[in-house]
Amino acid sequence: MTTTTRRRWLKNSLSFGAAALLLNRADRAGGFVWSNDRPRVGAIGTGSRWCQKATGIDGPWGSAPDFRKYGDYVAVCDADSSRRDLAAGLVKEWTGVEPAIHADYRAILDNDKIDIIHISTPDHWHAKIAIESMLAGKDVYCEKPMTLTIAEGKEICEVCRKTGRIVQIGTQQRSEEQFIRAIALIRAGRLGVVKKATCRIGGAPTSPEIPVASAPSHLDWNLWQGPVAETSFRYLAGDNGETKSWSRCHYEFRWWYEYSGGKLTDWGAHHVDIATWGLNKTSTGPVSVTPVLVKHPVEFQKGFPVDPSRYNTATEFLIQAMFADGVEIEIRHDGDNGILFEGTEGRIFVNRGRLTGKPVDDLKDNPLPAGALAEVYKNRPLVDHFRNFFEGARDRKEPISDVFSHHRALTTCHLAGIAARLNRRINWDPAAETITDDAEARSFIGRDYRKGFEIVRG
């Protein structure tokens, strides 16, 4: 749209308010230029990952404060009316214009004036919204992990290829220099032949017995559950985490296999992604996944928890993923959070605070060749993760955290979760993308969607 045409549309729009204010936005990102004007963004899910302030917590943490440098939120959606109203207030503060406010995200997808969908919902909603967004002609930024199941990842990849949409996953470590430098060191052969990556991702918490309770009036519990099987709302107030509670809902959803994968897909989505990238395994997968150690806070039968009143994801674990060439990714709960790469000629450790090891020390006398970091970063300028996405959407270029590589890394995490739930080795065919010789384990590759919440593909 030309600026003149867009101004005329905005003046006539009841949804997005006063055009003059929106066209005179502040906080534009220095040096970033969109093809015509600022892209318009719809936010689906406005909890603390989107912005802490949108949950009533005073603080700037979340993706939205940085995301808004490159585009303008014009619509917000959440199953919790208190969160979407708080988010709407933030958007008005940022842009000068009150956004459209929705409980049903499909209203955002149906709006052809919106360019980009920003998904910050709980994990069990990610795939459905991402697929439908791409089919609606939107580019997508989806917080990690991309999916709840392996089957969802396969379909997201298929739809992304079919539609040509630009999709970035929120594994922001791929845009942090120490991780890029670690990959560049491996690519340059400074570790020799890399044989193993150990991902230390921390353990999951336990909970007391959480009683059945009435959902608060501002939360549409049925809508929040969405595609997963319907169950009772549970809540117990207490000095626990950002919500000061134990529950099946906000933030605490991470510790229920019904909605997430626990630490295996929470921090695992970050560190196993870097390990897979560093080992050059982004187009394949392991051939076996073995749970050497797994502890759950409740009893399991046939892969399902028998106690519905407590958190159920693995609290302690040591899981080995072996590739056909003998390379290994180890995922464990203990030790210093980060990734250790071990090669025939050296080792390096990297996390969000540091990059260490003799190959790193040797850089002062033997620096990496010019352009080594940019080559790792798909030969694009090294920028923050959000800008990389917006530049990709503008230039129609694949972002650094694409759905295809993330699907392969996250498949390892999902397989680790299946192996943990069944407490046995899983054999995987990475070409056919299926579990072999174990029908029960294979049944966990996908899931049934609750009636009324199926993926809309037409």
Please name the amino acid found at residue 295.
K
Which residues, in sequence order, are CB contacts of 395 under 8 Å at separation 6+?
A: none
The size of the chain, in residues, is 458
pLDDT given at position 30? 66
Under CATH, what is the fold of the domain 3-174?
A: Rossmann fold (3.40.50)
Q: What does each of the 458 residues of the chain score in pLDDT, given as a tens digit?
A: 333 333 333 333 333 333 333 333 444 566 788 766 899 999 999 999 999 999 999 887 999 999 999 999 999 999 999 999 999 999 999 999 999 999 999 999 999 999 999 999 999 999 999 999 999 999 999 999 999 999 999 999 999 999 999 999 999 999 999 999 999 999 999 999 999 999 999 999 999 999 999 999 999 999 999 999 999 999 999 999 999 999 999 999 999 999 999 999 999 999 999 999 999 999 999 999 999 999 999 999 999 999 999 999 999 999 999 999 999 999 999 999 999 999 999 999 999 999 999 999 999 999 999 999 999 999 999 999 999 999 999 999 999 999 999 999 999 999 999 999 999 999 999 999 999 999 999 999 999 999 999 999 98
pLDDT given at position 4? 30
Q: Can you read off the two tokens belonging to residue 308? A: 């519905």
pLDDT given at position 161? 98
Residues of the chain with CATH 3.30.360.10: 175-378+402-458
Count CB atoms within 10 A of the CB of residue 298: 15
CATH superfamily of 175-378+402-458: Dihydrodipicolinate Reductase; domain 2 (3.30.360.10)
Short-list 279, 98, 305, CA closest to 186: 279
Give the 3-state secondary structure of 129-191: HHHHHHHCCCEEEECCCCCCCHHHHHHHHHHHHHHCCCEEECCHHHHCHHHHHHHHHHHCCCC
pLDDT given at position 28? 59
Calpha distance 416→289 (Å, rounded) = 6
Q: Can you read off the two tokens belonging to residue 124? A: 């069990």
- pTM (2 decimals)? 0.93
Phi-psi region of 374 (alpha: psi -120 to 50; beta: other; left: phi over 0): alpha
- Tokens 């440098």, residue? 69
Calpha distance 277→271 (Å, rounded) = 10
Calpha distance 26→96 (Å, rounded) = 9
Angle of CA points 269, 270, 275, to nearest 5°: 100
pLDDT given at position 34? 79
Alpha carbon of residue 86 to chain centroid:
23
Helical packing angle, 268-278 and 403-422, nearest 10°: 120
Alpha carbon of residue 4 to chain centroid:
37
pLDDT given at position 432? 98
Residues of the chain with CATH 3.40.50.720: 3-174
Give the 3-state secondary structure of the chain: CCHHHHHHHHHCCCCCCCHHHHCCCCCCCCCCCCCCCCCEEEEECCCCCCCHHHHCCCCCCCCHHHHCCCCEEEEEECCEHHHHHHHHHHHHHHHCCCCEEECCCHHHHCCCCCCEEEECCCHHHHHHHHHHHHHCCCEEEECCCCCCCHHHHHHHHHHHHHHCCCEEECCHHHHCHHHHHHHHHHHCCCCCCEEEEEEECCCCCCCCCCCECCCCCCECHHHHHCCCCCCCCEEEECCCCCCCEEECCCCHHHHCCCCCCCHHHHCHHHHHHHHHHHCCCCCCCCCEEEEEEEECCCCEECCEECCCCCCCCCCEEEEEEECCCCCEEEEECCCCCEEEEEECCCEEEECCCCEECHHHHHHHCCCCCCCHHHHHCCCCCCCCHHHHHHHHHHHCCCCCCCHHHHHHHHHHHHHHHHHHHHCCCEEEECCCCEECCCHHHHCCCCCCCCCCCCCCCC
pLDDT given at position 409? 98
